[in-house]
Structure 1
């Protein structure tokens, strides 16, 4: 669980568990090496900006 809270910031960051789950379900059992999870809010991390879609 530490990965999700510390790295992805699911409790107060741009990504949520529900958006992550929706992205996985959208794969319909197929694999991917580029999982695209929509951001819940726009967030600045260093010099990178993650924008809400």
Structure 2
């Protein structure tokens, strides 16, 4: 029984580790999207200044 519990705990820990990696990757993607949006807004503001 002890070995069975350890294997179950190991599976749960590995799933949580993989899930945390996906969350970090998703946050990184959201941050890069926000940065690209800010860059587009800055370009539009520069065009307004030129006009």
Measured against the shorter chain, the TM-score band is under 0.3
- Structure possessing the higher relative contact order (Cα contacts under 8 Å, 6 or more residues apart): 1
Structure showing greater Rg? 2
| TM-score relative to the length of structure 2 | 0.27
| TM-score relative to the length of structure 1 | 0.26
Structure showing the higher strand proportion among its residues: 1
Structure showing the higher helix proportion among its residues: 2
